[in-house]
């Protein structure tokens, strides 16, 4: 089987790398930890550069993937160990049971009878799911899955399923792959905002993260796309807190690259739904690189969006209202704003857990070495467009090894 | 506005080595429990110090409102440690305000420790060679070795010197913080929307009174988070000094009011008890501060300037109690301990305007200024 290319991670970078390589005629195996493909981008409401909904880009990729017989993929699959050398790696992969096979038509009968409710991590717990559920509205593969953390194997779903698609006795499998090169596209996770003890996350209900905001704004999110406080009230004032954990030696010492643009984008989400809402964006520096400067200028032109230069270092609740405090460094006066909701622009942390055979740098990003090619945010913080470019470039690198 | 690059180097040298890491996010100004709403500190001081704006910092009352709680350093995303930097700025400002300036510069260098001890040692040796006191036989009575009158005269001279230099510093400081340059905001809106010039002087006495009350209660220190210990340790040292002062007054009353001829008081004497309480507070408080700094860098790592002052206080306390202990055991070593104690007390008092001790003066004035212009933190 030598010659195959392994891609770890089925987010937008991994998908791109896998498809680009497979379309040139090489055998590609893609493994994804989650029960679905699409990764973080699928959780967004809209994404840069064109502010499309994720359906747009991801569905094109899924379609290309389906028409490329050279590409095989496994979900619920985690790489355990990598050994060998460029051109000849041995990779151990563990495939956790999904308990639902391809007979599934996603009719939903199982979900209706399932007695167990659980927090839906895909929606950051803003919504409940059942122990058997569809991962998300655009899941690929479009099959239900059982969450082992919550399911008690009561068997209700098995009797409800008309298609014989559920097997509660399915067992964990192990695969050993022999591949020529490995593209690491393990992506990122949001920084744990509870560690920012002065910003009130986890203490005050309406202090949320930027990824939670994406889910709130998303039409398939917990509120059906209505942006509101977590007590269900409309937004009159909202504050975005930049560098929540990023560029901070106590948390993430690097700039997460995308959070400024994410907040500017989310300000437009709020504006679309609330023409008069007052929006405050507290920042150290606005980093809207390259052509995104235009987007920044457009958002800045909105009279009801106030950009305040100064990092929010205190979030309090006073008489049921959230109050954020920063020093406006341009005027040298403390700026206190009373708001309905606070959005922490939390940064990106590498999602990869240590795997023997993959080297990580001091921050946990994947180091490139011969035959092991990190792409997207596995390599460093970047936005989708750059991630895709790095993925396409990685496909070429992988092909070079596969041809030897 | 003049840029003084040497000032920047000196601040870095005095313990502000992290100064240049600051990127002006202003987290510090918000997490600081002491910082007022308008023109909060220490963010502006950080950039002034980076730029070498010496004049602005000398005339800035705010650096003296900082108690080095280090909440700012704890939350600083760059490890710029504004708490430590402000401590270094204060050291540098003490040097700039002190008269004569060159003497301050010598004393603040680690090599200056030679001068620091040489002056009192030479003076003591001089005294010993002139007055040639003899180690008395029998019961240990300090007054039989060096007469109280001599000590009192020396005290007046050294204290007078310190007061004179302090007065010069106080004048420079007070006129500085009330000058145009110091005013971060020069006007404030009056009741009828007219602009009022912020001036400190009219309520001086009233503000000074309440500042002293604040200092006695350590109410500002009590706001500290990260270096919370400092509230207790400083409280002990501060009240140790006051209680020792009360005991000294007691001694004076004994000598000149009640006609007591000799002060070799027994441990049960009320004045001796008061004195011992003060000494214990002084030693325990300074020991606590020393241990805390060694064991936890977050509360401040200290610099030569800090250590010298802290060490002197501790040594004064230790030698003071040492004399007493030796006296009660009947050892003639008490007399030699007494000489060491005198040398240390000299350094504490004579160098007060050049050492960290000067903070007592500048802080009190800064409190007074802050109260008069309404620069109180919002609770």
Is B30 in Cβ contact with A332 (below 8 Å)?
no
The pTM for the full model equals 0.92
Distance CA B212, CA B238 (A): 12
Residues of B in contact with A248 (CB under 8 A): 77-78
Nearest CA in chain B to A283: B25
Q: What is the mean pLDDT of residues B64-78?
A: 95
Task: Give Cβ neighbours of residue B231 (< 8 Å, ≥ 6 apart).
Answer: B218, B221, B222, B224
Predicted local confidence at residue B300, as pLDDT = 76
For chain A, 404 residues long, give each residue's pLDDT as a single digit of tens: 447 999 999 999 999 999 999 999 999 999 999 999 999 999 999 999 999 999 999 999 999 999 999 999 999 999 999 999 999 999 999 999 999 999 999 999 999 999 999 999 999 999 999 999 999 999 999 999 999 999 999 999 999 999 999 999 999 999 999 999 999 999 999 999 999 999 999 999 999 999 999 999 999 999 999 999 999 999 999 999 999 999 999 999 999 999 999 999 999 999 999 999 999 999 999 999 999 999 999 999 999 999 999 999 999 999 989 999 999 999 999 999 999 999 999 999 999 999 999 999 999 999 999 999 999 999 999 999 999 999 999 999 999 998 87
Backbone φ and ψ of B25, nearest 5°: -80, -20
Is B23 in Cβ contact with A311 (below 8 Å)?
no
The answer to whether ipTM exceeds 0.85 is yes
**Which residues of B, range 42-81, sit inside 8 Å of A by Cβ?**
43-44, 75-79
Q: What is the mean pLDDT of residues B17-31?
A: 96
Residues of B in contact with A243 (CB under 8 A): 25, 77
Residues of A in contact with B31 (CB under 8 A): 198, 313-314
pLDDT of residue B197 exceeding 90: no
Nearest-Cα distance to chain B for A365, in Å, is 20
Tell whether B377 is within 8 A of chain A (Cβ).
no
CB pairs under 8 A between A and B: 64
- What is the rounded average pLDDT for all residues in chain B? 91
What the block records as the tokens of A351 is: 């999602």
Q: For residue A42, how many other CB atoms are within 10 A of its CB?
A: 25
What the block records as the tokens of B88 is: 């270094």
Nearest-Cα distance to chain B for A24, in Å, is 46
**Which residues of B, range 79-108, sit inside 8 Å of A by Cβ?**
79
What's the CATH number of domain A5-96+172-187+351-402, 2.30.30.90, 3.50.50.60, 3.40.640.10, 3.30.1490.20?
3.50.50.60
Nearest-Cα distance to chain B for A314, in Å, is 7
Q: pLDDT band at residue B261, thresholds of 50, 70 and 90? A: confident
Domains and CATH numbers, chain B: 5-97 (1.10.1060.10), 101-370 (no CATH)
Please name every residue paired with B195 in a beta bridge, in sequence order, or none if there are none: B189
Distance CA B272, CA B324 (A): 10
Backbone φ and ψ of A286, nearest 5°: -85, 120
Backbone φ and ψ of A304, nearest 5°: -95, 10
- Domain spans in chain A, listed from the N-terminal domain onward: 5-96+172-187+351-402, 192-347
What the block records as the tokens of A37 is: 């493909």
- Tokens 């059906």 belong to A224
SS3 A183: strand
Q: pLDDT band at residue B308, thresholds of 50, 70 and 90? A: very high
A106, A144 contact by CB (below 8 A): yes
Q: Which residue in A243, A284, A313 is closest to B30 by CB distance? A: A313
Domains A5-96+172-187+351-402 and A192-347 equal at CATH topology level: yes
Task: Give Cβ neighbours of residue B95 (< 8 Å, ≥ 6 apart).
Answer: B10, B101, B104, B105, B108, B354
A14, A32 contact by CB (below 8 A): yes
For the four alpha carbons of B29, B34, B38 and B41, in that order, the dihedral sign comes to: negative
Residues of B in contact with A332 (CB under 8 A): 38-40, 44, 184-185
Is A251 in Cβ contact with B75 (below 8 Å)?
no
Is B24 in Cβ contact with A313 (below 8 Å)?
no
Residues of B in contact with A329 (CB under 8 A): 24, 26, 43
Q: Dihedral through CA B347, CA B350, CA B351, CA B354, nearest 10? A: 170
Query: Helix B5-13 to helix B82-97 angle, to the nearest 10 degrees?
Result: 120
Is B31 in Cβ contact with A327 (below 8 Å)?
no
**Which residues of B, range 4-23, sit inside 8 Å of A by Cβ?**
23
Is B30 in Cβ contact with A314 (below 8 Å)?
yes
User: Does a cis peptide bond (omega within 30 degrees of 0) precede residue A215?
Assistant: no
Nearest-Cα distance to chain A for B205, in Å, is 29
Listing DSSP states for B85-99 in one string gives: HHHHHHHHHHHHHSS
Is B79 in Cβ contact with A249 (below 8 Å)?
yes
Tell whether A287 is within 8 A of chain B (Cβ).
no
Nearest CA in chain B to A284: B25
Predicted local confidence at residue B181, as pLDDT = 43
A60, A132 contact by CB (below 8 A): no
Q: Which residue in A313, A329, A334 is closest to B24 by CB distance? A: A329
* CATH, range A192-347: 3.50.50.60
Q: What is the mean pLDDT of residues B176-197?
A: 60
Q: What is the mean pLDDT of residues B170-193?
A: 69
């Amino acid at each position: 089987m030598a010659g195959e290319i392994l891609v770890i991670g089925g987010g937008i970078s991994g998908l791109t790398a896998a498809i680009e390589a497979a379309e040139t005629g090489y055998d590609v195996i893609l493994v994804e930890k989650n029960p679905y493909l699409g990764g973080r981008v699928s959780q967004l409401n809209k994404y840069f550069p064109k502010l499309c909904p994720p359906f747009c880009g991801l569905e094109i990729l899924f379609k290309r993937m389906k028409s490329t017989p050279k590409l095989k993929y496994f979900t619920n699959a985690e790489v355990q160990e990598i050994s060998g050398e460029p051109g000849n790696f041995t990779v151990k992969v563990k495939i956790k049971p999904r308990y639902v096979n391809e007979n599934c038509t996603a009719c939903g009968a199982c979900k209706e009878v399932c007695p167990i409710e659980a927090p839906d991590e895909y929606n950051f717990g803003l919504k409940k799911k059942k122990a058997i559920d569809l991962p998300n509205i655009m899941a690929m593969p479009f099959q239900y899955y059982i969450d082992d953390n919550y399911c008690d194997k009561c068997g209700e779903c098995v009797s409800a399923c008309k298609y014989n698609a559920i097997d509660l006795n399915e067992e964990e499998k192990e695969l050993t792959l022999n591949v020529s090169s490995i593209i690491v596209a393990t992506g990122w996770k949001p920084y744990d905002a509870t560690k920012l003890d002065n910003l009130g996350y986890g203490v005050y209900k309406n202090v949320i993260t930027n990824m939670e905001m994406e889910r709130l704004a998303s039409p398939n999110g917990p509120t059906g796309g209505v942006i509101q406080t977590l007590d269900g009230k409309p937004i009159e004032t909202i504050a975005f807190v930049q560098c929540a954990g990023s560029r901070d030696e106590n948390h993430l010492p690097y700039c997460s690259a995308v959070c400024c643009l994410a907040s500017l984008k989310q300000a437009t989400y709020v504006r679309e739904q609330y023409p008069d809402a007052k929006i405050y964006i507290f920042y150290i520096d606005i980093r809207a690189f390259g052509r995104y400067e235009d987007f920044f200028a457009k958002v800045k032109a909105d009279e009801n969006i106030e950009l305040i230069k100064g990092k929010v270092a205190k979030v309090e609740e006073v008489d049921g209202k959230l109050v954020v405090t920063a020093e406006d460094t341009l005027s040298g006066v403390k700026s206190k704003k009373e708001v309905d909701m606070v959005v922490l622009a939390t940064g990106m942390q590498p999602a990869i857990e240590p795997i023997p055979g993959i080297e990580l740098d001091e921050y946990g990003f994947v180091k490139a070495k011969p035959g092991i090619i990190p792409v997207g945010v596995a390599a460093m913080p970047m936005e989708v467009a750059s991630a895709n470019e790095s993925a396409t470039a990685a496909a070429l690198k992988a092909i070079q090894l596969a041809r030897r | 506005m003049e840029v003084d690059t040497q000032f920047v180097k000196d601040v870095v040298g005095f313990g502000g080595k992290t100064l240049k890491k600051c990127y002006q996010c202003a987290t510090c100004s918000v997490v600081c429990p002491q910082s007022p709403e308008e023109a909060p500190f220490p963010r502006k001081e950080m950039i002034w110090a980076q730029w070498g704006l010496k004049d602005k910092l000398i005339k800035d009352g705010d650096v003296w409102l900082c108690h080095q709680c280090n909440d700012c350093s704890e939350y600083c995303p760059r490890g710029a440690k504004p708490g430590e930097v402000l401590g270094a700025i204060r050291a540098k400002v003490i040097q700039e305000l002190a008269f004569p300036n060159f003497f301050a510069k010598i004393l603040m260098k680690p090599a200056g420790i030679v001068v620091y001890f040489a002056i009192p040692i030479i003076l003591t040796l001089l005294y010993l060679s002139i007055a040639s006191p003899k180690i008395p036989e029998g019961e240990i009575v300090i007054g039989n070795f060096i007469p109280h009158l001599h000590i009192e005269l020396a005290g007046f001279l050294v204290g007078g010197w310190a007061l004179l230099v302090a007065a010069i510093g106080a004048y420079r400081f007070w006129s500085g913080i009330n000058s145009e340059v110091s005013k971060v905001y020069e006007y404030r809106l009056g009741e009828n929307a007219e602009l009022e010039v912020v001036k400190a002087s009219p309520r001086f006495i009233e503000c000074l009174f309440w500042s002293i009350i604040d200092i006695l209660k350590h109410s500002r220190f009590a706001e500290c988070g990260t270096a919370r210990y400092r509230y207790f340790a400083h409280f002990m040292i501060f009240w140790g000094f006051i209680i020792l002062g009360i005991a000294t007054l007691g001694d004076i009353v004994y000598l000149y009011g009640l006609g007591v001829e000799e002060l070799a008081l027994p441990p049960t004497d009320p004045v001796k008890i008061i004195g011992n309480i003060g000494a214990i507070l002084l030693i325990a408080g300074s020991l606590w501060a020393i241990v805390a700094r060694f064991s936890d860098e977050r509360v401040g790592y200290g610099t030569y300037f800090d250590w010298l002052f802290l060490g002197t206080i501790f040594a004064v306390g230790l030698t003071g109690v040492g004399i007493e202990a030796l006296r009660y055991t009947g050892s003639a070593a008490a007399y030699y301990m007494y000489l060491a104690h005198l040398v240390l007390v000299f350094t504490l008092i004579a160098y007060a305007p050049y050492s960290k001790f000067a903070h007592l003066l500048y802080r009190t004035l800064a409190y007074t200024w802050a109260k008069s212009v309404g620069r109180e933190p919002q609770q």
